[in-house]
Amino acid sequence: MSEDDPLESVGKELRAERERYVAEVLESRPFQDALNYLESITAHMLLAQSYVHLQGSRFSAGEDYLLFRFAPHLSEAALAVMFCAKEGMQNAARRELRFLLEAAVKLSSRDTHDDATTFEDRLAGLGDKGKRFEDYVDELLYFEEFEKPEEANAEALSLYSELSQYVHASVPQFESTMARSRRGESPGMETVATLNKFNKLVFRVYDLVLVRIFYGVGLSLAGDIFTTTLDDQPKWRFHKGKFVGRMSQCFDYKHERRVRRGEI
């Protein structure tokens, strides 16, 4: 191939651009820290889900509840979010986040609905095509001690609206892509600022999803998870979650916490 071949010249430029990106961004400490953070919030979300599964197995009717039986799909989606984002495929990762949020809300709503007393009833209710996401959110229940549940519902609606922009081709999706292009970010070559922003989005979604998962095993079993396991893991990321934190406060009455506070 001739040295003057334009295709060869373009290829060299692309390879050089990729090599610069790897050296200056991908292998940098801030970018690697952001990737490690994404891995950690994924792992900590899955860890909490495994605790819920173990506690839920003590509940003989656990298999009758949608959220309990659907847990493997939630884990699969969380892993897909991480793997896609690590490869720079944030749009695909956002679609998985929307699935996670929608599934957690809908299944949690059906599990506690007045007209659903069996697994079959709960499952059948998911086929209601006239029901919107907002309707499922309105039906969500929270522990009595959970502060300001309306704020959690508002967050769910806000996140769902934002994530829905990435399910189909949309103006906001194009605008986001063009804005990144103006900053010199080509597909799969995002900056650390872009990755950090995405990580915050992931955390917000997982924070809400975990509230629904914990609620699914009931006040007593969820309280046991916090006071006998998670309280002993101060580095668990979601202690800092806005809504997981509120759920955690629901268990301040527990004997273990009263002992730690010196009340007993």
How far CA 211 is from CA of 26, 55, 206, 230, in Å, comes to 33, 15, 9, 14
Domain ranges of the chain: 31-260
Region 119-143 average pLDDT: 91
148-166 pLDDT, tens digit per residue, is: 999 999 999 999 999 999 8
- Of the pLDDT bands very low, low, confident and very high (cuts 50, 70, 90), residue 183 is confident
What is the reported pLDDT for 125?
85
- Of the pLDDT bands very low, low, confident and very high (cuts 50, 70, 90), residue 190 is confident
Higher pLDDT, 214 or 118: 214
| Distance from C-alpha of 69 to C-alpha of 47, rounded to nearest angstrom | 17
> Which residues have a Cβ under 8 Å from the Cβ of 154 and sit 6 or more positions away?
none
- Of the pLDDT bands very low, low, confident and very high (cuts 50, 70, 90), residue 256 is confident
What is the reported pLDDT for 93?
96
SS (H, E, C) the chain: CCCCCHHHHHHHHHHHHHHHHHHHHHCCHHHHHHHHHHHHHHHHHHHHHHHHHHHHCCCCCHHHCHHHHCHHHHHHHHHHHHHHHHCCCHHHHHHHHHHHHHHHHHHHHHHCCCCCCCHHHHHHHCCCCCCCHHHHHHCCCCCCCCCCHHHHHHHHHHHHHHHHCCCCCCHHHHHHHHHHHHCCCCCCCCCHHHHHHHHHHHHHHHHHHHHHHHHHCHHHHHHHHHHHCHHHCCCCHHHHCHHHHHHHHCCCCCHHHHHHCCCC
Among 46-55, 94-103, 114-123, 149-158, which is the least confidently predicted range? 114-123
Residues 42 and 79 sit within 8 Å (Cβ to Cβ): yes
CA end-to-end span of the chain, whole Å? 83
- Of the pLDDT bands very low, low, confident and very high (cuts 50, 70, 90), residue 13 is low
Region 68-81 average pLDDT: 94
What is the reported pLDDT for 14?
65
1 pLDDT higher than 50 = no
Region 229-243 average pLDDT: 96
75 pLDDT higher than 90 = yes
Apex 243 CA angle, 38 and 231, nearest 5: 75
| Distance from C-alpha of 191 to C-alpha of 195, rounded to nearest angstrom | 6
- Of the pLDDT bands very low, low, confident and very high (cuts 50, 70, 90), residue 197 is very high
Number of other residues whose CB lies within 10 A of the CB of residue 181: 11
Give the mean pLDDT of the chain: 89
- Of the pLDDT bands very low, low, confident and very high (cuts 50, 70, 90), residue 214 is very high
Percent of the chain exceeding pLDDT 70 equals 93
> Which residues have a Cβ under 8 Å from the Cβ of 106 and sit 6 or more positions away?
126, 133, 136
Percent of the chain exceeding pLDDT 90 equals 60
Region 21-32 average pLDDT: 84
| Distance from C-alpha of 122 to C-alpha of 124, rounded to nearest angstrom | 6
46 pLDDT higher than 60 = yes
Amino acid (one-letter) located at 224: D
What is the reported pLDDT for 74?
95
What is the reported pLDDT for 166?
86
Residues 195 and 228 sit within 8 Å (Cβ to Cβ): no
What are the φ and ψ backbone dihedral angles of 229, each rounded to 5 degrees? Answer: -130, -65
- Of the pLDDT bands very low, low, confident and very high (cuts 50, 70, 90), residue 136 is very high
